[in-house]
Structure formats: C-alpha cells, structure tokens
Amino acid sequence: MTQSLQDLLAALVRINSINPSLVPGAAGEAELATFVAGWLQDHGIEAVIDEAAPGRLSVIGTVRGTGGGRSLLLNAHLDTVGTDHMPEAFNPVVRDGRMYGRGTYDMKGGLAACLFALLDAREAGLRGDVILAAVADEEHASLGMQSVLKTVRADAAIVTEPTSLQLCVAHKGFTWHEITTHGRAAHGSRPDLGTDAIAHMGRVLVRLEALQRELEERPPHPLLGHASVHASLITGGQELSSYPERCTLQIERRTLPGETRDEVEQEWTALLGELAQDPQFHAEHRITLLREPFGVSEEAPIVQVLHAQAAQVLGEAPQHIGQTFWMDAAFLAGAGIPTVVFGPHGTGAHATEEWVDLASVEQCRAVLSATVRAFCA
C-alpha cells in the first residue's frame, strides 16, 4: 500500500545521506539510493543504480511511455551537507505544517514530490517517457549528475530544488582561481637580498578590488544582477623573520549566463600582465574549477508548459526568478536538455534549522504531475 507523501518524506529524512566529500567518513548516498530504488520497484517502476564512484550511488527511475511522445526528466539530489549542532537532524518533526530535519528543504522535499509524480505518471498512459534522476554528490562535485548524463537523455528537465513554487530560469555559475606570487627568501634583516611575495600579492588584491568595481559597472542580468569576484583564502611565508618566497591566493568569480571561460581568463591575463611590467613581479594563475551559469529561454516549451500548469494548480501565475547559487541544472542545460527549476517552499539550506512547508510539497507534486501529463501526452 502506498504511503502518504508526508510519510515518504519522513522516511527519506531518517536516512543519513551526508556527502562524504564534505564530511570525511560520512554515510554518503548508498543507503538512500537503495531505498529509493526499492521504493520505485515496489511500485512497479523500473529503477537502476548508477555508481559514479565507489559507494556514490544515484538512481535512474523510468516510467516508459507507449511511444511517440516527448520525454521529461525530473531531478533531485540525494546528498545533504553535514549536521553539526543538529542533534535531531534525522528525526523529522512536524510542527505548524512544516517538517524539520536535515534535507527536508535541500532537497528531499523535492525528491518526495518527484517520486509521487512518477506514481501519477505510471497511471496516466502517456506516450513519452518520464525519468527520475536522483543523483549523488550535488553538494560537492556533481559526480552523480555527470555520470547519469552519460546514458540518460530527455526532451526537457525539471530540477526540483526549492524555489517556493516559482519558476527559476537562470542561476549564476562560478570559477575558482589560484594565483601564486613568487619572491626571494632571505633573512628579515636583509632587504637587499629578499623579495616579498606577500607584498606582491597585495598588488593583486588591489587589482581584485578594482575588478569588482568594474563588474558592478557592467550591465546587470535582469534576474541575477551583477557578476562578482572575491578573495577567499590566502597563505604565504615561511616564518616571521624571513622574506616570504611564495604567497598563494584562492579566488571565486561568480559568472552570469553569456560569460565564457575565455572571457574570465582574459580578465586575469590582463590584470597580471599589467603587474608583470614590473620585472620584480612574478605570478602564476590557473583555474581550479569551473561551473557554468544556467539560463533557459522563456519561450522554451518546458517553461511554457510548467508555467501554465503551475498557474492552473496554484490558482495564480508563478513568478520567473533567478537564483544566485549554482545547481545541477547547468549540467542538464549543458547537455542540450532545456531545463527549468521548480520546487517547494521552506528555508534553512546548510543551516542548523531546516524545514520544508508540507503543503507546498503536495502542491509541487501536483504541478509536476500536471506538467508530466501535458508535456508527455
């Protein structure tokens, strides 16, 4: 007998799925993936496990259509962040229409809505396939999504990250950079022999502030505002009485749809090139990680269908919004799958108090199911 959506969500929350790449030794997604796959199979839905790395499991569930219809992929991630200062993190508590616990909001509420939407699709007699990608490692390196996309394709996708039942059609990307300045080690009493790598990094930091001001002067994205850059981590020097021979700065640059890797690299080529006019200045730059920004056309069929179905179910047209944080939506879009983000209401992502509004989880399920019927008919 099928349990209620609330009961399913509670069962998902009780399973520890902390990402071990964030918290060494943490449980990971394996137990939750096994539960989700078993739940789908128990309800007559095809489910297979995809192992992106040892113990890092994702689930691909499929309700196959009769043929000739459009396919739609629903996505949620299995992993959560850690639970420091959350003694009851895996003991879901319902109070005032909210469920509290780690992962309720980010994003097992969306996962539960997806699972019930697959049940609805099973009964709908659709021509197109409906696919669930419940993936590992979204909170770190997105190993799960990258692995799933090696074998799964669809005509469109909905990522069920929480959006308070609004349509997210854009989010920022980011690049991580490492700058290293080189000096010459010498005794602190011998400035004639030493070159200060940390002082040279100070010049980089001054230019970094200037770059941030320049980004703020560029035309903003209508939903995301301005791109940004900031210094994140810095290390350097050997000891107090020595000239530092090396200093390393790690930087994050948040990017907007339309900005490319080449454009971002050119910013640093120009910045460091100006400083290198001083023959005493020596620096190296490399990009250590890149995640693309995401954007989808308002005219894309999945945006139009989801908007129409959400308006009908909710009784009012949803807003179209952008999010500043990165999501797996960018990987789906990068694979050529038109994608939109739509999920329930709540708060507390990565915080010590996390909750999801249960009525909005039910509404999310209803909107997903209506969209599936309209898109895959």
Residues 32 and 166 in one domain: yes
In this structure, are 47 and 12 located in the same domain? Answer: yes
Q: Measured between alpha carbons, how far is residue 243 from residues 60, 205, 284 in Å?
A: 56, 19, 19
Whether 161 and 179 map to the same domain: the answer is no
Residue 1 clears pLDDT 70, i.e. is over it: no
**CATH code for position 38:** 3.40.630.10
Does 30 share its domain with 133?
Answer: yes
- Tell me, what's the pLDDT at 347? 97
Pair 271, 372 in one domain = no
Q: Are residues 354 and 277 in the same domain?
A: no
Same domain for 104 and 182, yes or no, is: no
Q: Among 233, 256, 291, where does a domain finish?
A: 291
Final residue before a domain boundary, out of 231, 260, 291: 291
**Domain total in the chain:** 2
Residues 151 and 211 occupy one common structural domain: no
- Tens digits of per-residue pLDDT, 25-51? 999 999 999 999 999 999 999 999 999
Question: Based on the domain organization, do 345 and 327 belong to the same domain?
Answer: yes
Last residue of a domain, one of 262, 291, 320: 291
| pLDDT, tens only, 320-342 | 999 999 999 999 999 999 999 99
Q: How would residue 226 be classed by pLDDT, with cut points 50, 70 and 90?
A: very high
- Non-local (6+) Cβ contacts of 302 within 8 A are 72, 155, 156, 157, 158, 296, 338, 339, 340, 375
Provide the residue range defining the domain that includes 73.
Answer: 5-171+293-376
| Sign for the pseudo-dihedral over CA of 306, 359, 348, 319 | positive
pLDDT at 3 over 90: no
Residues 182 and 47 in one domain: no
CATH number of the CATH domain containing 183: 3.30.70.360
